[in-house]
Amino acid sequence: MSLSFEERKKTILETLEKEEKVQVKILANFLQVSDETIRRDLDRLEKDGIVKKVYGGAIKSAVHQWELPFDQKKTMNQMEKRAICKTASSLVEDGDIIMIGNGTTPLDMVHYLAEKDITLITHSVPVMLLAMEGFNGRVIFVGGEFERNQQYTSGPLSERTLELMKANKAFIAAGGISVGNGITDYDITGSSISRKMMERAEEVIILADHTKFGKTTFAHMCSLTDVSMIITDNLCHEDWMKILAEKNIELIIANEKI
């Protein structure tokens, strides 16, 4: 019995999650349908804004270039982000020197680190302000040019300051995670300061909720194999668990209820 459009669509999208491009002939052979059937499927998906047709197949509709303002992002996937932060904080030990990057995903780590005897280095203004409220450890704020929309500092002054320090762990938020493009961010300055933090840390830990997987944003940050581990929430698709396991990248699922 032939597969329905919805069943074929599921296969197409799952393939895009892993490979970021689908080819008509390969799909047709795998699904045992004609090339024309796959082309019609891709036409429908393109009209829905899900894919963009290219020669011989299709890719995801577009690179995600625009990032929502910080305050607006804070309201999205809050439970998942808190679970990720709680799990990430459990990896921090007394005496550690850690870096926390910009973005809403790592922000709540500060709450779970309040009683730990650590040094916290950050260029995120919201992280710094939250640490001022109830964090007992040492705080080093990295100055530089202020990015108003995302509320962090960056630029040559920030990167020069980071070059003077070394950390045990860097906790970095991702704009997107994909097999082909690795870890990406929404803007060049943000990705540049994140890379500098990665260079100055012994361990690089990426924090990303499930919506970031299979997604590519504007600016390349690093390849998948450049990170020590990735922490995500329990809605992460099992395909990604297999992909990262094959690449020997540790994936931690935050299952805690907050």
The separation between CA 227 and the C-alpha centre of its own chain, rounded to angstroms, equals: 12
- Radius of gyration (Cα) for the chain, nearest Å? 20
Give kind and range of the element (H or E) at residue 133: helix 125-134
The 51-54 sheet, strands edge to edge:
21-23, 57-60, 51-54
Please return the burial class of 4, using the count of CB atoms within 10 Å of its CB with bins 0-12, 13-18 and 19+: exposed
Contact 8, 35 (CB under 8 A): no
pLDDT recorded at residue 215: 83
Which two tokens mark 59? 């890719």
The top-scoring range by mean pLDDT among 41-55, 152-166, 206-220 is 152-166
Q: How confident is the model at residue 118 (pLDDT cuts 50, 70, 90)?
A: very high
Please return the burial class of 170, using the count of CB atoms within 10 Å of its CB with bins 0-12, 13-18 and 19+: buried
CA–CA distance, 113 with 191 (Å, rounded to integer) = 25
Q: Looking at the predicted structure, is the pLDDT value of residue 1 above 70?
A: no
pLDDT recorded at residue 65: 59
CA–CA distance, 60 with 48 (Å, rounded to integer) = 12
Q: How many CB atoms within 10 Å of residue 33?
A: 16
Q: How confident is the model at residue 141 (pLDDT cuts 50, 70, 90)?
A: very high
Q: Looking at the predicted structure, is the pLDDT value of residue 251 above 90?
A: yes
- Please indicate whether the domains covering 5-60 and 70-254 agree at the CATH topology level: no
In the chain, what are the domain boundaries?
Answer: 5-60, 70-254
Give kind and range of the element (H or E) at residue 183: strand 182-185
Mean residue pLDDT of the chain comes to 89
CATH number of 5-60, picked from 1.10.10, 1.20.120, 1.10.1220, 2.30.29: 1.10.10
Contact 70, 150 (CB under 8 A): yes
Q: Looking at the predicted structure, is the pLDDT value of residue 72 above 90?
A: no
pLDDT recorded at residue 83: 95
The separation between CA 26 and the C-alpha centre of its own chain, rounded to angstroms, equals: 29
What share of the chain in percent tops pLDDT 90? 63
CATH number of 70-254, picked from 3.40.190.10, 3.40.50.1360, 1.10.260.40, 3.65.10.10: 3.40.50.1360
Mean pLDDT for 123-145 is 95
What share of the chain in percent tops pLDDT 70? 93
The separation between CA 172 and the C-alpha centre of its own chain, rounded to angstroms, equals: 8
pLDDT recorded at residue 234: 92
Give 14-38 pLDDT, tens digit per residue.
788 777 788 999 999 999 999 999 9
Q: How confident is the model at residue 112 (pLDDT cuts 50, 70, 90)?
A: very high
CA–CA distance, 189 with 144 (Å, rounded to integer) = 11
